[in-house]
Amino acid sequence: MSHYKHLMQHLKSALEKVPAYWLSIFIYFICVELILLFKSGELYFSNELWTARLVFLVIFGFNFLPVLSSKTRSLCILFLSYAAMTLLYKETAELNKLFYPVADPILMNWDQVLFGFQPAIEFTQKWNAAWFSELMFFGYFSYYLVPLIVIYLVYKYFPEKIEEFGLILISSFLIYYLVFILFPAVGPQFYFEPPNHVTEARGIFGRIIKIIQHNGEVPTGAFPSSHVGISLIIFWWVWRHLRRFAIYFVPALLCLIPATVYIKAHYAVDVIAGFCSAPIVYFLIQKSYGLFRKWYKSDSIELKSTENNL
């Protein structure tokens, strides 16, 4: 009994160091492995997939580093996990091929029916001033910057909330990535014929985005727009927990939403789907987090009760 007691104590102590969003990462990997099991066993041996899992395994190990304080460790792990999302995003471009053909013709048709033209083409042609182009590229760039700013603000002012924000952020990415796999769409930048597939970079933010696209963009992730969905989810969370800072994120959000169409990353219907999906994703994650905390607290009480009986 004494051995069991010590084992449970060590297990509980170890689990307390692991943020809740690692459960989301674990579930995502299970879903991907199941997809591979039923659709393509050959991708099990993909170097990209194994590299991504090795990276996450290393990051997971940081949870148990004794040299870092709990607050610093939480910050580092969340930052590294957020950065590593790029690896999982890239692999969706391989995994979604298992569900081809792409849905781009359908999305183009929806745009045509709703607007009578292709917004991703007309928007750039009608609003082609250099200052406006740079504003749109800045808005798109804010998608990468805003989560880092929020992570810093949470770390500085509400470190006890960093696990919750991490769950919101990481789980949102993973939910959208699963949709990208199951509903393949590559977006105007990959589907349109030249020269309609690109928007010219005419400033510093335009050039930065071109570098990011060259190194990190792959034919995937058009529908729904995770740029819009995740940005709205982050804003709602900030509004609830960091309200005094929320107003500062509004300009970036207002620029980001049209920018996704302007730079031809998305069709207009992708943006609409991003709006519609964001509250659903946010609710699911918040509900799951509540259940997780309730289960964990209940489990802790049960564990303590067991220890007392021992």
Question: Does the bond joining 188 to the residue before it have cis omega, within 30 degrees of 0?
Answer: no
The CA distances from residue 260 to 281, 293, 302, in Å, are 20, 36, 49
CA atoms 94, 99, 103, 105: torsion sign: positive
Other Cβ atoms less than 10 A from the Cβ of 148: the count is: 12
pLDDT tens-place values along the chain, 310 residues long: 556 555 555 555 556 678 989 999 999 999 999 999 888 777 777 888 899 999 999 999 988 888 778 888 999 999 999 999 999 999 999 999 999 999 999 999 999 999 999 999 999 999 999 999 999 999 999 999 999 999 999 999 999 999 999 999 999 999 999 999 999 999 999 999 999 999 999 899 999 999 999 998 999 999 999 999 999 999 999 999 999 999 999 999 999 999 999 999 999 999 999 999 999 999 999 888 877 777 654 544 343 433 333 3
Single-letter amino acid, residue 150: V
Q: Which of 289, 160, 287, 150 is nearest to 230 (CA)?
A: 150
Buried b (16+ CB within 10 A) or exposed e, 207-230: ebbbeebeeebebbbbbbbbbbbb
Q: Are 119 and 261 in contact (CB under 8 A)?
A: yes
Distance CA 308, CA 300 (A): 12
